[in-house]
Structure 1
Amino acid sequence: MLGTAPNFRDLAGSTAGGGARVRRGLLYRADSLARLDDDDFTILSGLGLRQVVDLRTVFERERGVDRVPDGAEYVVLDVQRNHSTGADLAAILSDPDRARAVLADDGAERFMLEVNRMLVGTRDACAAYRKLVERAAYGPLPLVFHCSAGKDRTGWGAALLLGLLGVPKDDVLEDYLASNARLGGLMDWIMELVGGQGLDPATVRPMIEVRPEYLEAAYAEIDSVYGGFDGYVAEGLRLDPATVDALRERLLH
């Protein structure tokens, strides 16, 4: 839909429990909105967005300022609490010495598994994702939430919201994996970047893809720490059941 934000998409269409479906035009997920050209910004503005939720770190936000449509509230929910590490892949791969340290001994996949465990296991992440759910349940809509590539931090946010709406795991995974088909330009840019630094592009590929095992790492962490998704929602996110009910009332039909 947006050539300069290729991972922008509606979360609608999935079937939840009882045959209800996720409403269209209310909840969007995206990659960075800092790179939007004028044509895409016009399209975005035409959606009538009321909230733009930025999951990125302060370092990413300073490097790329979002283009926010008139009438939309801009909200920062930094899931990493201003850390320069974590899912900010561009920063890691732009530093050859740091990249070599991360990528050594097949480290890229281990790194991504740890990122996904962090997204459900840290206090900062839980606080940010709780607020995302509350804003989707009670705040003005439509809402878009995003990070830089729209695949990891945004990917878990989408998995969380769809899970709360009762969408089956197989459909959540399908939405999660859809990022791979939308990020060809990013992948090409990163491959060119690392190749020019003398790094083996094959060692980087696990960091610029989404894979089923990454999402499963998040679910496994939830099972280990909270005993399952319901425990994560109640104890980790500390979401009131009324908020989940409100979310479903708004977003299902």
Structure 2
Amino acid sequence: MTNQAAPPLATAPNFRDIGGCTTRSGARVRTGVAFRSDALDRLDPAETATLTELGVGRIIDLRTAFERGNKPDVLPEGAEYTVLDVQGDHSTGADLVQVLTDPGRAEAVFGDGGATRFMHDVNRILVSAADARAGYAETVRRIAAGPGATVVHCSAGKDRTGWAAALVLGILDVPRETIVADYLASNDRLARLHAAMRAACESSGVDHALVRPMLECRRAYLDEAYGEVERVYGSFEGYVRDGLGLDRATTDALRARMLEP
């Protein structure tokens, strides 16, 4: 399992260290180098101070323009802020808001398994879409380059950020089951998301059960991403090399920074 000992951020409950686990060869992944999180728009001064104390020097925001404009990050003093939108600045967030205000449209879009199919589509896109590949490749480069710790986040910290964490841990040769466990750990940290979505659905008359599949991490979703890796690139190594265009020097630098000797 990955390390859960990083100081919690009450306003970002899905904040946690990517490190703390072990690789197939038994090497330990360093803590304090890369963190994953949900949105950082509600941080209070004590929480930004916590990030500073953790040595965070870079925030990577994977969200769309709509999400960033609606809930801009609160940054620790001196931290570098980098936007690596893995969904191409499209209007998914705005579109979803509109759908969730219309019960009939919500039923048409998300009913009959539509929400689950949507999540499978999202996880394939995160692997093979050009903007996603560019964003994830640059995420790896920046973590590998340092200096200081990096926080990678999206809105809920489960899908886009989940794949970022899976990518980093995969390059480090962490076992797949450990990566899956880290991915699924988000489910215990999403109470606020569930409550907010339930309230939104109740106010608009949308059946909350329709959207529940989008609020969860399911192994099948991550398996969909790995299946896309195999289908398009033949292997995880092929995805890293050919899909992301990461050279050996970059992956070696990531291992040097994140693996204890």
TM-score when normalising by structure 1: 0.95
| 1:234 paired to 2:237 | no
Q: Secondary structure at the match of 1:204?
A: helix
CA distance in 2, matches of 1:116, 1:81: 15
Alignment of structure 1 residues 101-120 onto 2, 5 Å: 101-120=108-127
Q: Aligned to 1:46, which of 34, 46, 53?
A: 53
Listed one character per residue, the Cα deviations across residues 68-106 of structure 1 (whole Å, up to 9, x for unaligned) are 111210000000110112x78963664426533321222
CA distance in 1, matches of 2:106, 2:175: 36
Q: Secondary structure at the match of 1:18?
A: coil
Unaligned 5+ runs, structure 1: none
- Does the CA contact (< 8 Å) of 1:92 and 1:99 recur in 2? no
Opposite residue 185 of structure 1, the aligned amino acid is R
CA distance in 2, matches of 1:126, 1:6: 27
- Does the CA contact (< 8 Å) of 1:88 and 1:148 recur in 2? no
CA distance in 2, matches of 1:79, 1:206: 21
Unaligned 5+ runs, structure 2: 1-7
CA distance in 2, matches of 1:17, 1:5: 31
CA distance in 2, matches of 1:88, 1:157: 23
Q: Aligned to 1:186, which of 181, 193, 203?
A: 193
Listed one character per residue, the Cα deviations across residues 197-216 of structure 1 (whole Å, up to 9, x for unaligned) are 22221121100000000000
CA distance in 1, matches of 2:65, 2:24: 38
Q: Secondary structure at the match of 2:56?
A: coil
Q: Give the stretch that moved more between structures: 97-106 or 3-12.
A: 97-106
Structure 2 equivalent of residue 8 of structure 1: 15
CA distance in 2, matches of 1:104, 1:233: 35
Structure 2 equivalent of residue 76 of structure 1: 83
| 1:151 paired to 2:158 | yes
Alignment of structure 1 residues 165-244 onto 2, 5 Å: 165-244=172-251
Q: How many pairs are equivalent?
A: 252
Q: What value does the CA root-mean-square deviation take over the aligned residues?
A: 1.6
Structure 2 equivalent of residue 91 of structure 1: 97
Q: Secondary structure at the match of 1:20?
A: coil
CA distance in 2, matches of 1:88, 1:159: 27
Opposite residue 81 of structure 1, the aligned amino acid is G
Opposite residue 239 of structure 1, the aligned amino acid is L
Identity %: 52
Opposite residue 54 of structure 1, the aligned amino acid is D
Structure 2 equivalent of residue 56 of structure 1: 63
Q: Give the stretch that moved more between structures: 195-204 or 97-106.
A: 97-106
> Against the structure 1 CA distance between its residues 25 and 42, is the aligned structure 2 distance closer, same or farther, given a 3 Å change threshold?
same
> Against the structure 1 CA distance between its residues 38 and 91, is the aligned structure 2 distance closer, same or farther, given a 3 Å change threshold?
farther
Using the TM superposition, give the Cα deviation of residue 37 of structure 1 relative to its aligned residue in structure 2, in angstroms.
Answer: 2.6
Listed one character per residue, the Cα deviations across residues 164-214 of structure 1 (whole Å, up to 9, x for unaligned) are 011000000000000000011111111121122222211211000000000
Q: Give the stretch that moved more between structures: 34-43 or 68-77.
A: 34-43
Using the TM superposition, give the Cα deviation of residue 13 of structure 1 relative to its aligned residue in structure 2, in angstroms.
Answer: 0.9
- Does the CA contact (< 8 Å) of 1:89 and 1:207 recur in 2? no
